[in-house]
Amino acid sequence: MTAPGYYTPAARLARAARERATAGWSWENAPRRRAAMVALVLRVKGRTCHLCRRPGATTADHVVPRSQGGGHDLANLEPAHKSCNLARGDRTLAEWEAAHPIHLPTLPPSREW
């Protein structure tokens, strides 16, 4: 149990990102800020690519593309592989999922439950 007012490191970073986003913070033309935001996304949300569902994500992808009004806030960023991120481009998630359906393995039913 944590003491009142104490935040875990991930929660502290997420709170700082929200504060920067509401203050109009932008990472354009700021490679250190961009790297810090990508590191924050990977630390808070994990390293599983939200596009192909495989581990090993190294970049942050905008859920709502910037060309369609999406922002740089933590709620609009998800981990993704660089190749998946580049292949998606500025398509919406619905367009991406229609073109690239995810085939998850199915297990046979078990009687040992």
pLDDT digits (tens, 9 = 90+) for 91-112: 998 898 888 887 767 777 777 6
Whether this model's pTM surpasses 0.75:
no
Nearest to 96 by CA among 107, 104, 105, 85: 85
Q: Cα separation of 78 and 60, whole Å?
A: 5
Q: Hunting for tokens 């495989």 — which residue is that?
A: 54
Q: Could you report how far apart the first and last alpha carbons of the chain are, in Å?
A: 34
Distance between CA atoms of residues 113 and 109, nearest Å: 10
Residues of the chain falling short of pLDDT 50: none
pLDDT of residue 113: 62
Per-position b or e across 12-42, b if 16+ CB within 10 A of its CB: ebbeebeebbeeeeebeeeeeebebbbebbb
